[in-house]
Amino acid sequence: MNAVTQASNAHVPTVKLLIGGEFVESQTREWRDIVNPATQQVLARVPFATADEVNAAVRSAHAAFASWRNTPIGARLRIMLKFQALIRDNMSRIAKTLTAEQGKTLPDAEGDIFRGLEVVEHACSIGTLQQGGFAENVAGGVDTYTLQQPIGVCAGITPFNFPAMIPLWMFPMAIVCGNTFVLKPSEQDPLSTMQLVELAIEAGIPKGVLNVVHGGREVVDALCTHEDIKAISFVGSTAVGRHVHQLGTQHGKRVQSMMGAKNHAVVLPDANREQTINALVGAAFGAAGQRCMATSVVVLVGSSKDWVQELIGKAKALKVNAGHEPKTDVGPVVSRAAKARILGLIESGIRQGATLALDGRDVKVPGYEDGNFVGPTVFTDVTTDMDIYTNEIFGPVLVVLTAQTLDDAIAVVNANPFGNGVGLFTQSGAAARKFQSEVDIGQVGINIPIPVPVPYFSFTGSRGSKLGDLGPYGKQVVQFYTQTKTVTARWFDDATVNDGVNTTISLR
Would you tell me which residues interact with ligand NAD (CB under 6 A)?
157-162, 184, 186-187, 216-217, 220, 235-237, 240, 243, 258-261, 292, 392, 394, 420, 459, 461, 465
The answer to whether the beta carbons of residues 280 and 298 sit under 8 Å apart is: yes
Q: List all residues 6 or more positions away from 373 whose beta carbon is below 8 Å from its beta carbon.
A: 320, 330, 332, 333, 339, 363, 365
Whole-angstrom CA distances from 482 to 74, 150, 189, 197 are 18, 5, 30, 23
Q: How far apart (Å, rounded) are the C-alpha atoms in residues 475 and 467?
A: 18
| Residue from 50, 71, 48, 14 nearest 207 by CA | 71
Q: Which residue in 124, 154, 224, 292 is the catalytic one?
A: 292
429: Cα separation from own chain's centroid? 31
Q: How far apart (Å, rounded) are the C-alpha atoms in residues 312 and 378?
A: 7
3-state secondary structure 350-395: HHCCCEEEECCCCCCCCCCCCCCCCCCEEEECCCCCCHHHHCCCCC
Helix (H, G, I), strand (E, B) or coil at 135: strand
b/e map of 289-306 (b: 16 or more CB within 10 Å)? bbbbbbbbbbbbbbebbe
| Residue from 216, 210, 219 nearest 51 by CA | 219
* 148 vs 458 by CB, closer to ligand NAD: 458
Sheet of strand 295-301, all strands in order from the earlier edge strand to the far edge = 355-358, 377-380, 397-403, 295-301, 263-267, 421-425, 443-446
Q: What is the DSSP string of 297-328?
A: EEEEEGGGGGGHHHHHHHHHTSPB--TTSTT-
Told to judge if 177 belongs to the known catalytic residues of this protein, a careful annotator would answer no
Residue 205 DSSP code: P
Residue 406 DSSP code: H
Residue nearest to ligand NAD (CB): 236
Q: How far apart (Å, rounded) are the C-alpha atoms in residues 128 and 234?
A: 26
- Phi first, then psi, for residue 319 (nearest 5°) are -95, 120
Q: List all residues 6 or more positions away from 47 whose beta carbon is below 8 Å from its beta carbon.
A: 3, 14, 15, 17, 25, 26, 28, 30, 31, 214, 215
Q: Which residues carry out catalysis?
A: 292
